[in-house]
Amino acid sequence: MASAEHAEGASDAALRISELRISLEYHNRRYHEDDDPEIPDSEFDLLVNELRRLEEEHPELASESSPGVTVGGAPNTTFAPVVHAQPMTSLDNAMDADELRAWGSRIEKALDGEAARYVCELKIDGLAVSLRYEDGHLVTAATRGDGRVGEDVTANVRTIQGLPQVIDGVPSVFEVRGEIYMARSVFDALNVEATKAGERLLVNPRNAAAGSLRQKDSAATARRRLSMWAYQLGEAAFDVAPETHTETLDFIRSRGFPVNPEVAAFDSFDGVLDFCVSAVDRRHELDYDVDGVVIKVDNLDQRRRLGFTSRAPRWAIAFKFPPEERLTRLIDIRVSVGRTGRTTPYAVLEPVFVGGSTVSMATLHNEDQVRAKDVRPGDTVIVRKAGDVIPEVVGPVLSERPDGLDEWSFPEVCECPLKSRYVRAAGEADTRCVEPQCPFQRDQKIMYWASRGAMDIEGLGERTVVQLTESGRVRDVADLYALSVDDVEALEGFARMSAEKLVAAIDESRTRPAWRVLTAFGVKHLGPTAAQALASKFGSVRAVLDATDDERAAVDGVGEVISASVTNWWADERHRDLVDRLETADVKFDVMPASSTAASNLAQTLDGRAVVITGSVPGYTREGGIEAVVARGGTSPGSVSKKTYALVVGDGAGASKLSKAETFGIPVIPAADFDRFLETGNLPSEG
């Protein structure tokens, strides 16, 4: 019986191994040869890890040609083959801190306890290349290919600015290896150009870089404005060679090659772990994509002693960042209507965990984006969530598309009861619902009025707003101030106490500062910063609205565009009526925050201190919280470092920032204590 079960298990494993090898070979070709991958790296890594685990459990089924042990893909036949003098190997991966520590322990054991120094570098998400110089002249540039044989892309690499064509002071044979990439700013600019021209959009910077490098016409490559970071040497005939990787990088840099500045060396493995945590936090501050950290043993003699496995060096490993792209099924495409009538297509998804949270909806931006990406309900799609950015659908996996899926088309009428027609003006990317009485617009305007960045009415969420408007109790924001406790208690889900709390919160909002009232109106282009400047200058909401275009435009940080937008808004009789009704409802228009009387009078309680804010802080927008810190002499960078004085933590705080604060022993300030912290500068332990 046991023998039969074992045979059945081996048969199942053999079938799954075969499926995985076929799948991985296909996706390897798409990635390395076609520059058109269908699945995210994270999904590919899951398949590779599953294959390796099964091959380890069933060594009789292992193969030297398995994609679990091979590197890259076959060279593209469009370009001449180039045999690498030294193979371009891949790297093993560590998916979390425990796996990284385990690698460090293996290094220590392999070196018989001898101390090792480690160099950390960002893992650039691009295309690996090797540049060969002979007698100081660039003679060949080749892609990695399968690690042994790559493709000759010399003519295209010559178009990359910043790469030396001729160098002095190097050995007669000198190979520099690095990563070709496309900067995010270039990628965005190219997609703007493609949208205007009605051309297909680039999927992501990595694919764009790989495709650009393999253009038959080098002039086309030059137009893509590629870049490169050099990160090590291949063959190099030194008389006296560098002894460490750090020295090697210094030498490469001294010869005019661009070396990424985000490089650090550590004698302690704790430093390696800290660098990795920091890199996860900072990845979105860079103008290029990174998907991990590469950790290398610094001493080149120790590297030689550690050697290689069949596919990767033992002296290096890649710490992979948490996946920001995953696969899931697109259930439906729907359209939301904002407070200005602007429509946004969005995807309804099978829930998937990506970027640190479970995602069930994602933006599709606008009609042109849906058409360019050609996603259809029923597709398997790639979903991307990067940091705090709204999740988006990157595109479909066409090989997984079921037969018979119809192309999605933008609806002609709004889903609201008025069924008003959608309109897209000539030359605009946005489609709008142009009916001012659209219930969707009405509800969004009320929700915006109640939001934290505006009037900050706690407890007035979307569900409650919809109940209030659909029951006829509220037509616009002025009606909020006539609500009674009985009105609210009559809504579904409200007990007497919760109804009293909401009415009290609405009543409290009558005395919000004037800048919040201006912001809450939702005037196009008028954000909190400009609203604060206007309120401070003119002293009241009415004075701001009644000022001339020139008077408002002269205020620092406002200008002609914002001023003209305020004028247009105020010219609408419906808005004049709303302002009158709000005044009648005793909403104050002339409240000034105590700090606005004179910024110079604020106590500099945070002078010279760096305070990071993560999550939502009641009463403040993200910008408002930063401004409050700066007004008291501090700075508010976007990431935690050893120089951070304190971390202010609100709802939806970033886990990586909290983890890093704990690692560095940085004090944490609850959002509820933020105002007292601003006033005193004291940490919680200081009272």
Q: Domain segments of the chain: what residues?
A: 2-61, 88-320, 325-423, 512-593, 602-686
Write down the catalytic residue from 109, 123, 196, 445.
Answer: 123
Contact 414, 440 (CB under 8 A): yes
Q: Report the phi/psi class of residue 225: left, alpha or beta, with left for phi > 0 and alpha for psi in -120 to 50.
A: left
| CB-based contacts of 307-315 (< 8 A; 24+ apart in sequence) | 308/89, 309/92, 310/64, 310/69, 311/69, 311/70, 311/71, 311/89, 311/90, 311/92, 312/89, 312/90, 312/91, 312/92, 313/89, 313/91, 314/106, 314/107, 314/110, 315/107
Q: Is the pLDDT of residue 600 over 60?
A: no
- Which of 359, 28, 384 shows the shortest CA–CA distance to 204? 384
Please confirm, yes or no, whether 123 is among the known catalytic residues: yes
Residue 1's pLDDT band, with cuts at 50, 70 and 90, is: very low
**CATH for 2-61?**
1.10.287.610
Choose from 273-287, 454-468, 521-535 the range with maximum mean pLDDT.
Answer: 454-468
Each residue's pLDDT tens digit, 64-91? 677 766 655 555 556 889 999 999 988 9
Each residue's pLDDT tens digit, 407-461? 999 999 998 888 888 998 887 778 889 888 899 999 999 999 999 889 999 999 9
**C-alpha neighbours within 13 Å on the C-beta side of residue 286:** 22
pLDDT computed for residue 457 by the predictor: 94
**CATH for 602-686?**
3.40.50.10190
Quick check: do 88-320 and 602-686 share a fold?
no
Percent of the chain with pLDDT over 90: 48
**For 88-320, which CATH class?**
alpha beta
pLDDT computed for residue 47 by the predictor: 82
Whole-model pTM: value is: 0.53
Each residue's pLDDT tens digit, 372-415? 889 999 999 999 886 656 788 988 999 899 999 999 999 999 98
pLDDT computed for residue 217 by the predictor: 85
CATH architecture of 325-423: Beta Barrel (2.40)
**Top-confidence residue, 483 or 524:** 483
Each residue's pLDDT tens digit, 479-505? 999 999 999 999 999 999 999 999 999
**CATH for 512-593?**
1.10.150.20
